[in-house]
Amino acid sequence: MNDIGHKDPLLVVASGNRGKLREISDLLSPLGWAVRPQGDWGIPEAVENGLSFIENALIKARHASRLTGHAALADDSGLSVDALEGAPGIYSARYADDQGDEANNLKLLEALQGIPDEKRGAHFYCAMALVRHEEDPAPLVAIGRWDGKITHRPSGGGGFGYDPLFLIDGRDCTSAELPTAEKNRLSHRGQALRDMVRMMRDELSD
Protein backbone atom coordinates (compact mmCIF):
# COMPACT_ATOMS: atom_id res chain seq x y z
CA MET A 1 0.00 0.00 0.00
CA ASN A 2 1.06 3.63 -0.24
CA ASP A 3 0.45 6.39 2.27
CA ILE A 4 -0.77 9.18 0.05
CA GLY A 5 -3.91 10.62 1.58
CA HIS A 6 -3.17 9.42 5.10
CA LYS A 7 -2.98 12.00 7.87
CA ASP A 8 0.80 11.60 8.18
CA PRO A 9 2.02 10.35 4.79
CA LEU A 10 5.36 8.61 4.66
CA LEU A 11 7.88 9.20 1.90
CA VAL A 12 10.87 6.91 1.37
CA VAL A 13 13.96 8.63 -0.02
CA ALA A 14 16.16 6.38 -2.15
CA SER A 15 19.38 7.76 -0.71
CA GLY A 16 21.61 7.36 2.31
CA ASN A 17 22.99 10.90 2.08
CA ARG A 18 22.14 12.45 5.46
CA GLY A 19 22.51 16.02 4.22
CA LYS A 20 20.10 15.36 1.38
CA LEU A 21 17.65 13.68 3.74
CA ARG A 22 17.71 16.66 6.13
CA GLU A 23 17.13 19.09 3.28
CA ILE A 24 14.19 17.08 1.91
CA SER A 25 12.70 16.61 5.37
CA ASP A 26 12.92 20.33 6.18
CA LEU A 27 11.05 21.22 2.99
CA LEU A 28 8.39 18.51 3.27
CA SER A 29 7.61 18.54 6.99
CA PRO A 30 5.33 21.62 6.68
CA LEU A 31 3.24 19.56 4.24
CA GLY A 32 2.81 16.80 6.82
CA TRP A 33 5.20 14.31 5.24
CA ALA A 34 7.45 12.03 7.30
CA VAL A 35 10.70 11.33 5.45
CA ARG A 36 12.74 8.17 5.95
CA PRO A 37 15.74 6.74 4.06
CA GLN A 38 15.40 3.42 2.25
CA GLY A 39 18.19 2.09 4.47
CA ASP A 40 15.68 1.88 7.34
CA TRP A 41 14.27 -1.15 5.51
CA GLY A 42 17.71 -2.62 4.78
CA ILE A 43 17.03 -2.83 1.06
CA PRO A 44 19.84 -3.02 -1.52
CA GLU A 45 20.71 -0.24 -3.93
CA ALA A 46 18.90 -0.31 -7.27
CA VAL A 47 20.72 -1.29 -10.46
CA GLU A 48 20.99 2.00 -12.34
CA ASN A 49 20.96 0.77 -15.93
CA GLY A 50 19.02 3.61 -17.52
CA LEU A 51 20.46 5.75 -20.31
CA SER A 52 19.46 9.10 -18.82
CA PHE A 53 19.24 10.85 -15.47
CA ILE A 54 15.44 10.68 -15.58
CA GLU A 55 15.41 6.95 -16.28
CA ASN A 56 17.78 6.26 -13.39
CA ALA A 57 15.81 8.43 -10.98
CA LEU A 58 12.63 6.51 -11.87
CA ILE A 59 14.41 3.16 -11.53
CA LYS A 60 15.56 4.07 -8.03
CA ALA A 61 12.18 5.46 -6.95
CA ARG A 62 10.23 2.42 -8.20
CA HIS A 63 12.77 0.07 -6.60
CA ALA A 64 12.38 1.76 -3.21
CA SER A 65 8.59 1.82 -3.49
CA ARG A 66 8.40 -1.84 -4.47
CA LEU A 67 10.50 -3.01 -1.54
CA THR A 68 8.97 -0.76 1.12
CA GLY A 69 5.34 -0.44 0.03
CA HIS A 70 5.44 3.36 0.35
CA ALA A 71 5.64 6.38 -1.92
CA ALA A 72 9.26 7.01 -2.86
CA LEU A 73 11.47 9.85 -4.04
CA ALA A 74 14.80 9.52 -5.86
CA ASP A 75 17.16 11.74 -7.76
CA ASP A 76 19.96 11.16 -10.23
CA SER A 77 22.53 13.86 -10.81
CA GLY A 78 25.75 14.43 -12.66
CA LEU A 79 28.04 16.73 -14.59
CA SER A 80 27.79 17.27 -18.34
CA VAL A 81 30.76 18.88 -20.14
CA ASP A 82 30.18 20.45 -23.55
CA ALA A 83 33.63 19.66 -24.98
CA LEU A 84 33.22 15.99 -23.99
CA GLU A 85 29.82 15.60 -25.68
CA GLY A 86 28.04 15.50 -22.33
CA ALA A 87 30.42 13.20 -20.48
CA PRO A 88 30.80 12.14 -17.74
CA GLY A 89 26.99 12.43 -17.57
CA ILE A 90 25.19 9.55 -15.89
CA TYR A 91 28.58 7.99 -15.16
CA SER A 92 29.78 11.02 -13.17
CA ALA A 93 30.17 9.21 -9.84
CA ARG A 94 32.12 6.33 -11.38
CA TYR A 95 33.94 8.23 -14.14
CA ALA A 96 37.35 6.99 -12.96
CA ASP A 97 36.27 3.39 -12.39
CA ASP A 98 34.84 3.98 -8.90
CA GLN A 99 38.12 5.33 -7.52
CA GLY A 100 36.49 8.34 -5.89
CA ASP A 101 36.13 12.10 -6.27
CA GLU A 102 39.81 12.95 -6.53
CA ALA A 103 40.37 10.42 -9.30
CA ASN A 104 37.26 11.64 -11.13
CA ASN A 105 38.49 15.23 -11.00
CA LEU A 106 41.95 14.30 -12.21
CA LYS A 107 40.53 12.32 -15.13
CA LEU A 108 38.30 15.24 -16.10
CA LEU A 109 41.19 17.71 -16.05
CA GLU A 110 43.26 15.36 -18.18
CA ALA A 111 40.40 14.98 -20.67
CA LEU A 112 40.18 18.78 -20.99
CA GLN A 113 43.90 19.42 -21.22
CA GLY A 114 44.57 22.06 -23.86
CA ILE A 115 40.89 23.08 -24.13
CA PRO A 116 40.58 26.91 -23.84
CA ASP A 117 38.33 28.62 -21.31
CA GLU A 118 35.65 29.53 -23.84
CA LYS A 119 35.13 25.86 -24.69
CA ARG A 120 35.04 24.51 -21.12
CA GLY A 121 31.32 25.06 -20.62
CA ALA A 122 29.52 22.56 -18.40
CA HIS A 123 26.43 22.10 -16.30
CA PHE A 124 25.27 20.05 -13.38
CA TYR A 125 21.96 18.30 -14.03
CA CYS A 126 19.49 16.74 -11.61
CA ALA A 127 16.40 14.67 -12.33
CA MET A 128 14.12 13.98 -9.37
CA ALA A 129 11.22 11.52 -9.48
CA LEU A 130 8.42 10.67 -7.07
CA VAL A 131 6.19 7.62 -7.43
CA ARG A 132 3.06 7.11 -5.37
CA HIS A 133 3.48 3.35 -5.74
CA GLU A 134 5.73 1.00 -7.73
CA GLU A 135 3.64 1.04 -10.91
CA ASP A 136 2.65 4.71 -10.79
CA PRO A 137 1.93 5.62 -14.45
CA ALA A 138 2.17 9.37 -13.82
CA PRO A 139 5.18 10.01 -11.57
CA LEU A 140 6.11 13.53 -10.60
CA VAL A 141 9.38 14.58 -12.27
CA ALA A 142 11.39 17.73 -11.55
CA ILE A 143 14.53 18.93 -13.32
CA GLY A 144 17.31 21.24 -12.19
CA ARG A 145 20.25 22.62 -14.17
CA TRP A 146 23.23 24.67 -12.94
CA ASP A 147 25.48 26.26 -15.57
CA GLY A 148 29.18 27.01 -15.34
CA LYS A 149 32.55 25.97 -16.73
CA ILE A 150 35.39 23.68 -15.73
CA THR A 151 38.45 25.35 -14.22
CA HIS A 152 42.05 24.31 -14.89
CA ARG A 153 42.74 23.34 -11.27
CA PRO A 154 40.68 22.56 -8.13
CA SER A 155 39.71 25.41 -5.83
CA GLY A 156 37.81 25.34 -2.54
CA GLY A 157 37.44 22.85 0.25
CA GLY A 158 33.67 22.53 0.47
CA GLY A 159 31.14 20.37 -1.33
CA PHE A 160 32.00 17.08 -2.94
CA GLY A 161 32.39 15.46 -6.34
CA TYR A 162 33.27 17.93 -9.09
CA ASP A 163 32.51 21.02 -6.98
CA PRO A 164 36.18 22.15 -6.80
CA LEU A 165 36.32 22.30 -10.62
CA PHE A 166 32.93 23.89 -11.31
CA LEU A 167 33.20 27.66 -11.83
CA ILE A 168 29.72 29.12 -11.44
CA ASP A 169 28.34 31.34 -14.19
CA GLY A 170 28.27 34.96 -13.06
CA ARG A 171 30.45 34.34 -10.00
CA ASP A 172 34.20 34.31 -9.53
CA CYS A 173 34.21 31.14 -7.46
CA THR A 174 33.72 27.41 -7.69
CA SER A 175 30.88 25.47 -6.17
CA ALA A 176 33.32 24.21 -3.52
CA GLU A 177 33.92 27.81 -2.38
CA LEU A 178 30.27 28.55 -1.62
CA PRO A 179 28.75 28.33 1.87
CA THR A 180 26.58 25.22 2.10
CA ALA A 181 23.31 27.14 2.38
CA GLU A 182 24.15 29.21 -0.69
CA LYS A 183 25.13 26.15 -2.68
CA ASN A 184 21.88 24.40 -1.78
CA ARG A 185 19.93 27.46 -2.91
CA LEU A 186 21.65 27.71 -6.29
CA SER A 187 22.38 24.10 -7.13
CA HIS A 188 20.73 21.81 -9.64
CA ARG A 189 19.48 19.56 -6.82
CA GLY A 190 18.11 22.49 -4.86
CA GLN A 191 16.24 23.73 -7.94
CA ALA A 192 14.75 20.29 -8.62
CA LEU A 193 13.80 19.74 -4.99
CA ARG A 194 12.00 23.07 -4.66
CA ASP A 195 10.09 22.35 -7.88
CA MET A 196 9.21 18.88 -6.58
CA VAL A 197 7.91 20.31 -3.31
CA ARG A 198 5.74 22.75 -5.28
CA MET A 199 4.27 19.88 -7.32
CA MET A 200 3.66 17.80 -4.20
CA ARG A 201 1.90 20.73 -2.58
CA ASP A 202 -0.29 21.26 -5.64
CA GLU A 203 -1.04 17.64 -6.53
CA LEU A 204 -0.71 15.50 -3.41
CA SER A 205 -1.74 17.61 -0.46
CA ASP A 206 -5.24 17.35 0.91
Give me the active site residues, please.
76
What is the Cα 39 distance to its own chain's centre?
Answer: 18
A 10 A CB-CB count for 5 gives 10
Distance in angstroms (rounded) separating the CA atoms of residues 46 and 129: 14
Distance in angstroms (rounded) separating the CA atoms of residues 59 and 103: 27
Distance in angstroms (rounded) separating the CA atoms of residues 168 and 149: 7
What lies within 8 Å, CB to CB, of 54 at 6+ separation is 76, 127, 129, 141, 143
Distance in angstroms (rounded) separating the CA atoms of residues 155 and 115: 18
What lies within 8 Å, CB to CB, of 161 at 6+ separation is 79, 92, 93, 101, 104
Phi, psi angles (nearest 5°) of residue 94:
-120, 30
